[in-house]
A = this chain, B = another copy of it.
Amino acid sequence: MSQRKGTAMVDEQPLPPLVARMWGREPPTRRGPQPSLNLERITAAAIAVADAEGLSGVSMSNVAARLGVAPMSLYRYVGSKDELLAVMVESAFENPPRLDGRSWRDYLTVWTRANRDALLARPWMLPIAHLAPPIGPRSLRWLDRALAALAHTPLTEGEKVNAATTLSGYAFFQANLISGLSVGANQRERARLTSVQEYGTTLAELLDSADYPALAHAVDSGVFSASQDWVEDADFLFGLNLLLDGIAALIARRSVDDEQPNETSPRSDAP
């Protein structure tokens, strides 16, 4: 099944054209004029537009204009606007943080926060990051580093992949949460609830405590009254540590019944 080993292969599958271009695997040009464009320049221009004008500013015309080129040129390199958006997300990420001999737990904390921060730095990615399995060079490097951090744990490869994937989903989720307490839409008529407090008072106004007993109780207890340090984000660490604690527990379990990888080990079920 998994025939691999690196660099040179027998040339296997068609490989979707976009993926090929993302990896620089294009057949060298044979005839015709010298290309003045390439996927990289196009992507960079599109990202620049998104950074400057937001996602709604990203139109084929706009991107083309920034390159001094006719809109239709872009379609030589990108099958559709949606493809362009996908590549933008892929290449808007920096490289992942370095491992530097940190413990798996420390590194994954850094990794997840960096992941979240990358999304927050370019919030236009949030609506278009489709959380598909990573396929580009950058996102795969992120995955690789997370796996590397877990390399010397007794987890199976599958468990490592699952753990990394889950953490990346958590980063995405947190970025969304922070990015906007917006209820309506993307930018225009954004019925924005600008603060946690405002969210709390709105809830208080709406909730009938008969229909929402537990939630009303939570609101009463002041959960949504602006805890002091939203800045140094306790909420982010809370969920992250849930996950890391879960991973730690799994590692501990694996370390005990080491020889017999039992698929359904006992789990605590405290009240």
Contacts from A to B (Cβ < 8 Å): 1-7, 9, 12-13, 15-19, 23, 79-83, 85-86, 103-105, 126-127, 130-133, 135, 140-141, 143-145, 147-148, 151-153, 157-163, 165-166, 169-170, 172-174, 176-177, 180-186, 188-189, 191, 193, 197-225, 227, 234-235, 238-239, 241-252, 255, 263, 267-271
Q: A267-B245, A268-B245 are in contact. Are A79 and B184 (CB under 8 A)?
A: yes
Contacts of A133 on B, CB cut-off 8 Å? 177, 181, 193, 199
**Additional A-B contact list (19), CB under 8 Å, known A83-B184, A144-B214, A166-B170:** A1-B201, A3-B204, A15-B205, A18-B183, A79-B185, A80-B185, A86-B185, A103-B269, A126-B130, A130-B180, A135-B199, A140-B203, A163-B238, A173-B173, A245-B245, A246-B249, A248-B267, A251-B270, A252-B268
Q: Is the CB of B183 within 8 A of A135?
A: yes
Contacts of A180 on B, CB cut-off 8 Å? 130, 132
CA distance A206 to B141 in the complex (A): 12
Q: Is the CB of A176 within 8 A of B235?
A: no
CA distance A85 to B201 in the complex (A): 25
Q: Report A165 CB to chain B, min CB distance, Å.
A: 7
Give the nearest-CB partner of A105 in chain B. Answer: B269
Q: Is the CB of A161 within 8 A of B223?
A: yes
Q: A1-B225, A83-B189, A130-B127 are in contact. Are A135 and B246 (CB under 8 A)?
A: no
Contacts of A243 on B, CB cut-off 8 Å? 239, 242-243, 246
Contacts of A186 on B, CB cut-off 8 Å? 82
Contact of A6 among B193, B198, B209 (CB under 8 A): B209
Q: Is the CB of A202 within 8 A of B242?
A: no
Q: Is the CB of A269 within 8 A of B242?
A: no
Q: Is the CB of A173 within 8 A of B166?
A: yes
